[in-house]
Amino acid sequence: MSDNILKIRDLDVFAGETQVLRDVDLTIHPGEVHILLGPNGSGKSSLLQAIMGVPPFRVTKGDIRLNGRSICDLTPDQRAALGFGMAYQKPPEIDGVTLTALAHVMRADATFATEAAALDMADFAQREVNVGFSGGEIKRWEVLKLFLQNPQFLLFDEPESGVDLEHIAAVGAAIERLARSRTANGAKRAALVITHTGFILDYVKADTAHMMVDGRIIATGDPKEMFEQVKSNGYHAA
């Protein structure tokens, strides 16, 4: 068994003919939560999509490994089955499928009842997935969905973006609770969280922060110190 959950080495990624990531190195160990900061268009979401194997993002150099296994040749559903789960920024609407129906298929009825209440989504039980949801409601559902999926490695794409102040605390607390818990088979989880506003840092006790600019990780350090630097100096290496 590898001593890290996620290991990315020397990674180049293209979307179509455009290179979006260059020479990315990243290692996340069991029990760790990492934050990814960067300006709009810097490649943060592209990195998460590449980890999940979502088209049109394709790896042209380097490797992505989960628990020591290369996953670059796997489809998104195969990666999910191995232990990846992602809270997307703009997930699709699923007409005809209610939240409770999806929870039942995932054999997570009890988890849905508990976590839906914590995320103020109990009244959404019979709503169709993402149909008519506001931006903030989509983000809360995406976090709840990961509780149902029970993955080992968690990916969050700006989970606080569009969430009203009343619910940011609930979203942050849910992410922290899930990331610090163990999977059904007792394995420690780990997480990578993209944040633009930094609000999530008030509720998620991140271990490490990375700054991405122009498709490269240019700095790594303490999360709150790095975010204070960003607020003062913008997105430049320390």
What CATH number is attached to the domain comprising 207? Answer: 3.40.50.300
What integer pLDDT is reported at residue 162 of this predicted model?
86
Is 124 domain-assigned? no
What range does the domain containing 18 cover? 6-91+149-233
What integer pLDDT is reported at residue 1 of this predicted model?
45
pLDDT tens for the chain, 238 residues long, are 457 799 999 999 999 999 999 999 999 999 999 999 999 999 999 999 999 999 999 999 999 999 999 999 999 999 999 999 999 988 999 999 999 999 999 999 999 999 999 999 999 999 999 999 999 999 999 999 999 999 999 999 999 988 988 899 999 999 999 999 999 889 999 999 999 888 899 999 999 999 999 999 999 999 999 999 888 888 865 4
Is 29 domain-assigned? yes
Is 132 domain-assigned? no
Is 119 domain-assigned? no
Q: How many domains does the chain have?
A: 1
Is 113 domain-assigned? no
Is 71 domain-assigned? yes
Is 112 domain-assigned? no
Is 198 domain-assigned? yes
- What 119-128 contacts at long range (C-beta under 8 Å, 24+ apart), as own/partner pairs, is 119/143, 119/144, 119/167, 119/170, 119/171, 119/174, 120/167, 120/170, 124/99, 125/98, 125/99, 125/100, 126/98, 126/99, 126/100, 127/98, 127/99, 128/93, 128/94, 128/95, 128/96, 128/97, 128/98
